[in-house]
Amino acid sequence: MSKGTTISTRNVVTAATRIVVKVGSSSISGENSWQIAPLVLALAAAHRRGVEIVLVSSGAIATGMPFLELESRPDDLATQQAAAAVGQNVLVHRYQAALDPYGIVAGQVLLTANDMEDLTHRENAQRAMERLLQLRILPIVNENDTVATHEIRFGDNDRLAALVARLIGAQVLVLLSDVDALYTKPPQEPGAEVIPYVGIDDELAGVEIGATTVNGVGTGGAVTKVSAARHAAEAGIAVVLTSTDLVADALDGASVGTYFEPARKN
């Protein structure tokens, strides 16, 4: 692991013409729903300078919970699907309302794991997103929770974001969460240090990444983000892992969060 990043590594971000940004449920739902506005501001700034942006957004179930008078994430699949059906509608409406002042139109893309595994479905999804980007529409991608089952779910949208980045040939993937970077151990523990750079061959030896966690509104954790980052980096996609409040800095190429070096493309 390098202790620092060079300016040239972040130049990959500023030079990118196609970027996928992933945001988690806890960052844009409940008491944190206010973060949609600054997130959209950052996306709009990149969009204005010509970058093709795809947003992978969790949050359908979390957003729908209050409308179903649920105080915690439901355990049964049917109620999760019901909450997602309500929440996805509200979530996209909130995004579009935030995008309106910038003259940007959102396009909703809902995918299941089967869509990415089936060749025909995958090609259809790729074709649709390519056309949306050509039309300067901002695709908002989420797992289709209303029809997904426990057996075929992506499990978390970090993996979905990496798959989407590979599908559309993005140069950069930005993974956003509540934590500003990858640490050598859980950041709340004494002695935890930021890991600013992960080389393509770095094994992260001695790093306590931790297990996947499930909070009150979503699923995920550092381990899922590292796994997704590795998956994207191996395909030649640079990855920045940081917090939602630092998204503007990340898209501007600032040295925030953790940068995963992409593999060289042959």
Distance CA 8, CA 185 (A): 27
Please tell me the distance from the alpha carbon of residue 192 to that of residue 232, in angstroms, as a whole number. Answer: 26
Cα of 77 vs its chain's centroid, Å: 23
Annotated binding site for substrate: 58, 145, 157
Binding residues for ATP: 22, 177-178
The end-to-end CA distance of the chain, in Å, is: 24
Token look-up 């509540």 returns 178
8 A C-beta contact, residue 244 and residue 26: no
Counted residue by residue, the chain has a size of 266
Annotated binding site: 22, 58, 145, 157, 177-178
Give the whole-angstrom CA distance, residue 33 versus residue 52: 24
Alpha helix segments (H runs only) across the chain: 7-15, 25-28, 36-48, 60-64, 77-99, 113-117, 119-134, 157-168, 222-234, 247-251
User: Can you read off the two tokens belonging to residue 144?
Assistant: 């289709």
Backbone angles phi, psi at 237, to 5 degrees: -105, 125
